[in-house]
Structure 1
Amino acid sequence: MARVGVEPSLTDVEQALQARGYEVVSLQNEEDAAGCDCCVVSGQQQNIMGIQETSTQASVISAQGLTADEVCQRVDQSVKH
């Protein structure tokens, strides 16, 4: 199954993804995203400086305003494409 990076504050999302069989990696720093098929972030830290540097080619999903199940559905869609 796919490898998904999840911000540490999203424990409900982490547990839901693990229940679906995903390998979940905690995103403590940008190196943790290496090798992930998808990353889930809280969306609370917005890029106010407008800098668009990324350290991964993986899809990034913002969990802001979504339930854990909705995030899982978006991860499912992202890794299947």
Structure 2
Amino acid sequence: MKKIAVEESLADISSALKEKGYDIVTMRNEQDADGCDCCVISGQDKDTMGMQDTVTEKSVINAHGCTAEEVCSQVEQRLG
């Protein structure tokens, strides 16, 4: 079972991914993403200067402006 870290504010996306059989971890800080296959973030707290430190080499999906179904599709595409 693939393990997905989902930002705490994205409850609808967490629910949709659980329904599809993914193991969901609520991501409150960068350590919560350890051991996960993919991360889903809200994109709300993006650095205003356009600079971001990379905290994981895993796939990161920005859910900003996407429906839960669109995010699920992106997860499925990236994890194959």
Q: Sort the TM-score into its range (normalised by shorter chain).
A: over 0.9
- RMSD over aligned CA atoms reads 1.1
Matches within 5 A, 1:22-33: 22-33=22-33
Which residue is equivalent to 1:40? 40
Rounded to whole Å, the distance in 1 between the matches of 2:4 and 2:45 is 19
Percent sequence identity over aligned pairs: 51
> Are residue 61 (structure 1) and residue 27 (structure 2) matched?
no
Query: Are residues 14 and 56 of structure 1, via their aligned partners in 2, closer, same or farther at CA, if it must alter by over 3 Å?
Result: same
TM-score (norm 2): 0.92
Q: Which runs of 4+ in 1 moved over 6 A?
A: none
* Superposition deviation, residue 51 in structure 1: 3.6
Rounded to whole Å, the distance in 2 between the matches of 1:42 and 1:34 is 18
> 1:34 touches 1:55 (CA, 8 Å); kept in 2?
no
> What one-letter code is carried by the residue in structure 1 that aligns with 2:63?
A
1:27-70 alpha-carbon deviations (Å, 9 max, x no partner): 11110011111100001111124443222111110111110000
> 2:46 touches 2:52 (CA, 8 Å); kept in 1?
no
> What one-letter code is carried by the residue in structure 1 that aligns with 2:48?
I
> 1:38 touches 1:60 (CA, 8 Å); kept in 2?
yes
> What one-letter code is carried by the residue in structure 2 that aligns with 1:61?
I
